[in-house]
């Protein structure tokens, strides 16, 4: 059997110092959508997500809760896994930096780089932000008047004997790689930012002695591996990367990763530090690092302390997982920030999901059941070959077509456009394009007026052709939306009697049974009364605040 092409995608591994918020859901859902899309296109996919559990911050938070670090993070890991399940996120690997195989492989990596001379011991005497666990340069501190550039809190002077990674050794090579591989950092704007940052990158501190919650450096007790080597290596250690025995099967099959999906805050670590570590190890670099924007709440950064975070489980329970997935993927444009507001969210549900998609599905099913109680029998020629040929020949032109030909043409054009968007991780554009087809199909109903055809016995054949075309369009739509809205796609498939999931089957016409029987179902997306809902929400949040 021919081996399928592989596709390996990762989310960042999240800090389990607190429960995941709606911003974390963005990265994870986006990676899930991409995995499902690639799977439908025949790829052998692997999707990794997980938690980054070591470090001073977690140690401190656990202590504040009166717990040992591992006990503290175990509960958050459990809640995180359950959140991903509620959002229908189907990952293959949940990577925890406290996993034994990971710890062992990180120790091997540290040792190898030390033996190679790329990691060396030296004195650190400089500025540091404890809450962020980050070292701050003199120049930066001057600009920020001795506060942390990330969190704004006061920074301190520390002196410590630590290990450094000789990052500058790899910068020239890395610069060439970035310049010669235009898709390595995406979107484009982040690439230039990173090329500028390269110029001011010095040696990287990779061990600490002031806390113990980390991977111990085997050959120098008292040192633990400091954050980024531990965290970034998870992308290979969890595939069975091994420096002392044969590489694991997954490493052999899936590395290098096709996409590291990350927020713009950590693009730097993934495009400078991570490739340099891989170069030092002599391993291939990932194909693409995609830095997406941030989801904000009413224009502000999501933060528990500001009390503005939206509880994802609340949204999922109240409005359904597909609505949440849709909003996240539709609202954020390539690389830019997006804003969550309740009216924007509810309007998306009402306009796009209830009016456009929900309506199309429910009126198509109702008409079919009413006009053809047994089945949409193929008395005539359901697959009008001439129509199909004319539609295909008209792709990319403005030729006048009849409504049936026009719908077929839109299906073909939509798929090409969606593929282009998806291959560039432009989820919002892909959805916008799919919705053009959904609206065109709604218009098809208005143009062909099945309710008028149904009154005339002599138009029975035409009516069956119109409905069959309608359900073929819905069958294609079910395949196109499946990566984004898996439950809705399943609902449509079940009711129109389709068992087609493969992407290429969306491009074909006439795959539904020629003796098509469809069934009516519950309303897909009930319309929300905005005024009533606002009052309800105020009541709820009022109560929860008081309670």
- Positions in the binding site for ligand MSP (CB under 6 A): 12-15, 23-24, 26-27, 52, 231-232, 262-263, 265-266, 294-295, 302
Nearer to ligand MSP, 12 or 69 (CB): 12
Q: Could you tell me the smallest distance in angstroms from the CB atom of residue 260 to ligand MSP?
A: 8
| Nearest CB to ligand MSP, comparing residues 26 and 427 | 26
Distance CA 132, CA 57 (A): 8
The least distance separating ligand MSP from the CB of residue 12, rounded to whole angstroms, comes to: 4
In the complex, the smallest distance separating the C-beta of residue 28 from ligand MSP, rounded to whole angstroms, is 9
SS3 content of the chain, % helix, strand, coil (to 5): 55, 15, 35
Across 193-213, b (16+ Cβ under 10 Å) vs e yields: ebeeebeebebbbbbbbebeb
Provide, rounded to whole angstroms, the least separation between the CB of residue 295 and ligand MSP.
Answer: 4
Chain position carrying tokens 């040696």: 203
Q: Which of 363, 324, 356, 329 is nearest to 342 (CA)?
A: 324
Q: What angle do CA 137, 185, 275 make, to 5 degrees?
A: 60
For the bound state, the minimum distance from the C-beta of residue 265 to ligand MSP, rounded and expressed in Å, comes to 5
Rounded distance between C-alpha atoms, residue 12 and residue 270, angstroms: 10
CB 276 within 8 A of CB 171: yes
Residue whose Cβ sits closest to ligand MSP: 23
Nearer to ligand MSP, 18 or 399 (CB): 18
Nearer to ligand MSP, 126 or 263 (CB): 263
Report CA-CA distances (Å) from 457 to 371, 442, 463: 11, 24, 10
Choose between 270 and 493: whose C-beta lies nearer to ligand MSP: 270
Q: With respect to ligand MSP, which residue has the nearer C-beta, 12 or 275?
A: 12
Nearest CB to ligand MSP, comparing residues 285 and 482: 285
Helix (H, G, I), strand (E, B) or coil at 128: strand
CB of 21 to ligand MSP, least distance (A): 7
Q: Which C-beta is closer to ligand MSP: that of 185 or that of 232? A: 232
Q: CB of 19: closest distance to ligand MSP in angstroms?
A: 11
Rounded Cα–Cα distance for residues 309 and 302 (Å): 5
**Can the peptide bond before residue 256 be classed as cis, meaning omega within 30 degrees of 0?**
yes
Q: Rank residues 29 and 391 by Cβ distance to ligand MSP and give the closer one.
A: 29
End-to-end alpha carbon distance in the chain: 61
Q: How far apart are CB 14 and ligand MSP at their closest, in Å?
A: 4
SS (H, E, C) 220-273: CCCCEECCHHHHHHHHHHCCCCCCCCCCCHHHHHHCCCCEEEEEHHHHHHHHHH
Q: Crossing angle for the helix pair 359-371 and 460-481, nearest 10 degrees?
A: 150
Closer Cβ to ligand MSP, 295 or 479, answer by number: 295
Sole residue written with tokens 């809640």: 79
- Looking at the Cβ atoms of 251 and 294, the one nearer to ligand MSP is 294
Least Å distance, CB 287 to ligand MSP, is 17
For ligand MSP, the closer of residues 12 and 248 by Cβ is 12
Task: In angstroms, give the least distance from the CB of 94 to ligand MSP.
Answer: 14
The residue written with tokens 């969190």 in the block is 151
- Burial call 3-36: b when 16+ CB within 10 Å, e when fewer: eeebbbbbbbbbbbbebbbbbbbbbbbbbbbbbb
| Cα dihedral value 515, 520, 524, 526, nearest 10 | 150
Between β-strands 93-96 and 259-263, what pairing exists: parallel, antiparallel or unpaired? unpaired
CB 73 within 8 A of CB 53: yes
The distance of closest approach from Cβ of residue 85 to ligand MSP in the complex, given in angstroms and rounded to an integer, is: 19
| Least distance from ligand MSP to the Cβ atom of residue 120, Å | 23
Q: Residue 92 to residues 56, 132, 165: CA-CA distances in angstroms?
A: 29, 30, 31
CB 155 within 8 A of CB 137: no
Rounded-to-integer distance, Cα 56 and Cα 214, Å: 9
């Amino acid at each position: 059997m021919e081996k399928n092409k592989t596709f390996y995608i990762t989310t960042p591994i999240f800090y389990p110092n607190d429960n995941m918020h709606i911003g974390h859901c963005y990265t994870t859902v986006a990676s899930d959508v991409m995995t499902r899309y690639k799977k439908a296109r025949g790829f052998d996919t692997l999707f990794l997500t997980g938690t980054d559990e070591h470090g001073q911050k977690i140690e401190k938070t656990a202590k504040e809760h009166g717990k040992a670090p591992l006990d503290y993070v175990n509960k958050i890991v459990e809640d995180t896994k359950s959140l991903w399940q509620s959002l229908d996120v189907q990952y293959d690997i949940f990577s925890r930096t406290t996993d034994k195989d990971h710890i062992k492989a990180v120790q091997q990596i540290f040792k190898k780089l030390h033996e190679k001379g790329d990691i060396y011991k030296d004195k650190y005497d400089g500025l540091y932000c404890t809450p962020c666990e980050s070292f701050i340069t003199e120049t930066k501190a001057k600009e920020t008047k001795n506060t942390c550039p990330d969190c704004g809190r006061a920074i301190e002077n520390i002196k410590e004997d630590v290990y450094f990674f000789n990052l500058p050794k790899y910068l020239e090579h890395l610069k060439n790689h970035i310049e010669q591989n235009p898709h390595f950092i995406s979107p484009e704007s982040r690439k230039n930012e990173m090329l500028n940052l390269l110029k001011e990158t010095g040696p990287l501190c990779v061990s600490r002695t002031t806390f113990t919650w980390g991977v111990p450096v085997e050959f120098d007790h008292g040192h633990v591996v400091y954050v980024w080597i531990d965290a970034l290596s998870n992308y290979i250690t969890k595939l069975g990367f091994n420096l002392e025995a044969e590489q694991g099967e997954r490493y052999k099959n899936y590395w290098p990763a096709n996409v590291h999906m990350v927020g713009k805050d950590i693009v730097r670590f993934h495009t400078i530090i991570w490739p340099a570590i891989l170069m030092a190890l002599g391993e291939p670099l990932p194909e693409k690092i995609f830095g997406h924007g941030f989801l904000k709440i009413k224009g502000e950064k999501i933060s528990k302390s500001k009390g503005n975070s939206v509880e994802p489980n609340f949204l999922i329970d109240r409005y359904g997982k597909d609505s949440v997935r849709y909003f996240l993927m539709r609202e954020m444009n390539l690389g830019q920030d997006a804003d969550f507001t309740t009216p924007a969210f509810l309007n998306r549900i009402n306009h796009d999901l209830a009016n456009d998609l929900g309506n199309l599905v429910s009126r198509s099913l109702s008409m079919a059941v009413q006009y053809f109680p047994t089945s949409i029998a193929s008395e005539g020629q359901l697959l009008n070959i001439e129509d199909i040929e004319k539609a295909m020949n008209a792709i990319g032109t403005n030729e006048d077509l009849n409504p049936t030909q026009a719908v077929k043409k839109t299906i073909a054009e939509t798929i090409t456009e969606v593929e282009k968007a998806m291959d560039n991780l432009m989820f919002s554009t892909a959805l916008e394009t799919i919705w053009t087809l959904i609206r065109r199909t709604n218009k098809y109903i208005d143009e062909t007026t099945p309710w008028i055809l149904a009154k005339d016995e002599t138009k029975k054949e035409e009516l069956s052709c119109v409905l069959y075309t309608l359900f073929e369009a819905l069958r294609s739509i079910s395949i196109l939306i499946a990566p984004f809205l898996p439950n809705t796609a399943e609902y449509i498939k079940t009711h129109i009697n389709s068992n087609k999931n493969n992407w290429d089957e969306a491009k074909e016409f006439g795959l539904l049974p020629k003796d098509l029987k469809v069934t009516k179902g519950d309303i897909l997306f009930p319309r929300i009364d905005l005024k009533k809902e606002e009052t309800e929400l105020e009541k709820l949040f009022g109560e929860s605040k008081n309670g």
